[in-house]
Amino acid sequence: MSQSPLNLPRRPRRLRLREPLRRMLQGVKLRRSDFIVPVFVVEGENVQREVASMPGVHQMSVDVAVPWLAGRAGEGFGAYLVFGVVDRAKKDPEGSPALDENNVVCRLLRAVNEREIPMAGITDLCFCEYTSHGHCGPLTADRSTVDNDRTVDLLVKQAINHARAGAAVVAPSGMMDGAVGALRGGLDAAGFADVSILSYSVKYASAFYGPFRDAADSAPEFGDRQSYQMDPSRGVDEAIEEARLDIEQGADMVMVKPAGAYLDVIRAVRQSIRVPLVAYQVSGEYAMIEAAAAKGWIDRDRAILESLTAIKRAGADLIISYSAHALARLLPA
Ligand code: PBG
């Protein structure tokens, strides 16, 4: 302290000087149970293939994914989000492998439940991993966009398959209008009133999905997703409206995606809804941290924790993150 201290009644630094006080004053605390871990399941046996643009993340066959998930459950993670990756030769314009009740997603759900692994299975409902053109559903006759209402019919079938295989939650991610209401009706009629819906309500057409499209082999063959995903420059009212529509139709939880560049959207949606909000720290957000850390340009662990803390501070109740391997080390259960 200098000889003649400034006459300051408020000195915010006082509370930063002692570690125990700093720790006690943390308002936002991350725990492993805040996180949902994504899994990419592929055909075959004994397959564990690292995704080039997502170091530390692997495509796994069912026999490898099951023990991997058992490990995550043991660490205190409570839910996984499964994406199916199918051989290109099986894909067609309708995305029919999505409706096969023996596809990798259904087989994984059954195996996890048979092994009684204490994790809730959440399935991504979408057709981009299954269509030959890589769009999120069958196209309109002029092939200019995805046919909304036909896709919704198919999503209901996909959801019932997943529910039958043991999904606890289905997560429509294709941004089709009316999907949530149709899913709620379809699941209830098929006897699955207990299966929840987590809607990807607020999903932007984002450059940050790049690495995922490698991981899931789901890049659109032509065009982009701007005729169904949201425009980042539209403003938050559209986000609030999307969330409201889905909740009205029966969504149990809503999602904002991506997360890091959309903290304002997370906050605005959080303030306008009364159901849990899930934020998705997407593949590109993960890849940027990993790439910079690999170059020694940022501290990996600190960057992971800081980015995820910001997402929770903005208002996310749960977070989907690819960093489970680091979080198991860094966070309490
Ligand atoms: C669609 C889907 C996508 C992601 C999750 N579900 C890709 C897309 O919309 O192109 C992206 C997730 C990520 O980037 O981590 N099935």
The ranges assigned to domains in the chain are 30-330
The CATH number that domain 30-330 falls under is 3.20.20.70
Residue 33 Cα to ligand 1 midpoint, Å, equals: 22
- Structure confidence at residue 1 (pLDDT): 55
pTM given for the model:
0.96
- Other beta carbons within 10 angstroms of residue 83's beta carbon come to 23
Pairing of strands 48-51, 54-61: antiparallel
Measured CA to CA, the distance from residue 160 to residue 293 in angstroms comes to 42
Measured CA to CA, the distance from residue 180 to residue 4 in angstroms comes to 66
Q: Which of 90, 203, 295, 312 is catalytic?
A: 203
Active-site annotation holds for 90: no
Residue 10 Cα to ligand 1 midpoint, Å, equals: 47
As a whole number, mean pLDDT of residues 221-244 equals: 95
Three-class SS state of 251 = coil
Measured CA to CA, the distance from residue 118 to residue 78 in angstroms comes to 7
Residues 6+ apart with CB under 8 A from 322: 37, 38, 54, 56, 57, 281, 283, 286
Active-site annotation holds for 312: no
Tell me which residue has tokens 């980042």. Answer: 232
Residue 55 burial by Cβ neighbours in a 10 Å radius (0-12, 13-18, 19+): middle
- Structure confidence at residue 121 (pLDDT): 98
- Over residues 37-92, the pLDDT tens digits come to 999 999 999 999 999 999 999 999 999 999 999 999 999 999 999 999 999 999 99
As a whole number, mean pLDDT of residues 185-190 equals: 98
- Does any ligand 1 atom lie closer than 6 A to the CB of residue 124? yes
Closest by Cα among 333, 310, 326, 331 to 57: 326
Closest by Cα among 299, 136, 159 to 216: 136
Residue of the CA atom closest to atom 10 of ligand 1: 209
Q: pLDDT confidence of 233, banded at 50, 70, 90?
A: very high
Residue 226 Cα to ligand 1 midpoint, Å, equals: 14
- Does any ligand 1 atom lie closer than 6 A to the CB of residue 34? no
Residue 276 Cα to ligand 1 midpoint, Å, equals: 20
- Does any ligand 1 atom lie closer than 6 A to the CB of residue 283? yes
Residue of the CA atom closest to atom 16 of ligand 1: 126
Query: Helix axis angle, 62-75 relative to 104-114, nearest 10°?
Result: 50
Task: Looking at the CA of residue 208, tell me the nearest atom of ligand 1.
Answer: 14
Which whole-number Å values give the CA distances from 194 to 99, 248, 282, in the listed order? Answer: 21, 18, 28
Residue of the CA atom closest to atom 2 of ligand 1: 173
Checking if the pLDDT of 12 tops 70, the result is: yes
Residue of the CA atom closest to atom 12 of ligand 1: 282
Pocket test for ligand 1, best of 81, 209, 307 (most atoms within 8 A of CB): 209
Checking if the pLDDT of 283 tops 60, the result is: yes
- Structure confidence at residue 2 (pLDDT): 63
As a whole number, mean pLDDT of residues 188-208 equals: 98
Residue 124, by phi and psi: left (phi above 0), alpha (psi -120 to 50) or beta? beta
As a whole number, mean pLDDT of residues 134-152 equals: 93
Residue 11 Cα to ligand 1 midpoint, Å, equals: 46
Checking if the pLDDT of 135 tops 90, the result is: yes
Q: Which of 29, 257, 295, 312 is catalytic?
A: 257
- Structure confidence at residue 4 (pLDDT): 81
Average pLDDT along the chain: 96
Percent of the chain residues topping a pLDDT of 90: 96
Q: What is the CA radius of gyration of the chain?
A: 21
Percent of the chain residues topping a pLDDT of 70: 99
- Structure confidence at residue 3 (pLDDT): 73
Strand partners, 255: 278
Q: Dihedral of CA 97/99/102/108: which sign?
A: positive
